[in-house]
Amino acid sequence: MIAYLKGELFSKYEEQVVVVANNVGYAVDLPPGVSSQLPDPGQEVELHTHYYLRDNEVKLFGFLSRDQLLVFTQAITVKGVGPKLALGIVSRLTPAQFRLAIRQEDADTLSTVPRLNKNTAQVIIMALKKKVENIEFDEKLDTRVTAKPNDGAVKALIGLGGSPEAAAKSVTEAQRVLGAAAKIEDLTRLALRYLSQNR
């Protein structure tokens, strides 16, 4: 099993890189957006990796941190969650956001991941709620954080005359586009546009 890879970055593409270590080139698949965070070819890189073997498929997946790797390996244990969807989770949510969503049973945040619907989000929550509590992540989770990131945006839309149901729906639509880490002002601005269109 290859759990860690350190070597020269030979080439990089949008979602894959080739790393040369001990004169061997390893093709490593990455979460969307990670490739742009790596140095130019010829520089040294370090990746936490997961060796994936299932049926006739053999792949090596790479991550910038051990916590990202843990999120990925936990996600692919859930029925209906394959590597591509798990990479999307790592790309869209930080490890802390993922763990907090599981702990708070927040299917709305999980379903901001592309191709991850509410039903799958609920399955992930049920499957991982106890597991993530027993995994030692490098980043400690601030258990005092309880508010959902979209609460402020929903309240703002209600204050502007929207019904609670319409406000929540519009914010959810906006969060799907902007991601779970969106700033409240950006979320509110886009959600207000959706609210106006739906009236």
What would the pLDDT profile of 145-161 be if each residue is shown by its tens digit?
A: 334 556 678 778 888 88
| Final residue belonging to a domain, choices 63, 91, 106 | 63
Alpha helices, DSSP H, located in 111-150: 118-133
Distance CA 16, CA 189 (A): 35
Q: What is the mean pLDDT of residues 111-134?
A: 90
Distance CA 96, CA 143 (A): 10
* Segments forming the whole domain that contains residue 176: 151-198
Per-residue pLDDT, 145: 37
Number of separate domains in the chain: 3
Q: What is the mean pLDDT of residues 19-32?
A: 96
Q: Is the pTM of this model over 0.85?
A: no
User: Residues 46, 72: one domain?
Assistant: no
Decide: 11 and 18 in contact? Cβ < 8 Å: yes
Q: What is the 8-class DSSP label of residue 14? A: S
What's phi and psi for 123, nearest 5 deg?
Answer: -65, -45
- Res 88 pLDDT > 90: yes
175 within some domain: yes
139 within some domain: no
Percent of the chain at pLDDT exceeding 90: 47
